[in-house]
């Protein structure tokens, strides 16, 4: 059964946002009175969490301080949306998916308004049927996947059987697996994260986004060379 629905992660999958957003987060936290090392550690350590949680992990107090850091970060990303470059192969992957009449969505932990601004700045506003970023109503990627499936207009079991999540981090792999998405494709351009992605739930691995066209053309991607199990054992 071929894939008809694809959910893409945004940062480090479609958009090369580092080190700009990393440095911005640290600077915003430092300006708010937090320790810069704690801010960097909170940003980079462990599974992805909500932005307010990340601010609190960096030492921000509950309420106004954490909310202020998130608001300032949202403002920065929204205003800097045009500075981010697409990841190699991103435009080709999106064009290939559209040519194959796949429905496309974005699931990002960037604030909702910021995620939408980045998509628009790339000229991708008409590419994605749905764009979900972090919000109090949609705080995590599991909620994103669930809502995308709900809005698909087909029975959930059919959508899940024809759906694929694509991302560079464990969080989108866990979300896809937890919600029953059949294919979870880990994007591993450096070649060193495949084991971590597979442990988090990835059952496919690609080292370049251009490989997604072959995945979409495959009747059984899990039997292809992109199978995580085959790649990790060097088959």
90 Cβ neighbours under 8 A, 6+ residues apart: 13, 14, 15, 209
Report domain extents, the chain. 5-16+86-232, 20-82
Mean pLDDT of the chain: 93
| C-alpha dihedral, 211 to 215 to 216 to 222, nearest 10° | -170
- Per-residue model confidence as pLDDT tens digits over 102-126: 999 999 999 999 999 999 999 999 9
More confident residue, 22 or 232: 22
pLDDT class of 235 with cuts at 50, 70, 90:
very low
Q: What is the pTM of this model?
A: 0.93
Q: How confident is the model at residue 48, as a pLDDT?
A: 57
Output the CATH code of domain 5-16+86-232: 3.40.50.1000
């Amino acid at each position: 059964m071929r894939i008809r629905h694809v959910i893409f992660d945004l940062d480090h999958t479609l958009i090369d946002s580092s080190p700009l957003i990393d440095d911005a987060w640290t600077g915003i936290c430092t300006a708010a009175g937090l320790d810069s090392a704690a801010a960097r550690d909170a940003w980079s350590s462990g599974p992805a969490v909500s932005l307010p949680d990340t601010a609190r992990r960096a030492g921000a107090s509950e309420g106004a301080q954490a909310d202020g850091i998130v608001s300032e970060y949202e403002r920065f990303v929204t205003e800097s949306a045009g500075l981010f470059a697409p990841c190699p192969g991103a435009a080709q992957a999106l064009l290939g998916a559209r040519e194959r009449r796949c429905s496309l969505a974005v699931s990002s932990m960037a604030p909702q308004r910021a995620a939408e601004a980045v998509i628009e700045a790339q000229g991708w506003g008409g590419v994605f049927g749905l764009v979900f970023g972090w919000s109090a109503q949609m705080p995590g990627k599991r909620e994103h996947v669930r809502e995308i499936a709900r809005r698909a207009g087909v029975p959930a079991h059919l959508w899940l059987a024809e759906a694929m999540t694509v991302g560079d981090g464990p969080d989108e792999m866990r979300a896809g697996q937890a919600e029953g998405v059949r294919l979870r494709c880990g994007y591993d351009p450096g070649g060193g994260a495949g084991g971590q992605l597979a442990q988090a739930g990835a059952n496919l691995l690609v080292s370049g986004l251009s490989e997604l066209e072959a995945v979409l053309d495959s009747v059984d991607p899990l039997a292809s060379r992109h199978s995580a199990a085959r790649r990790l054992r060097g088959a």
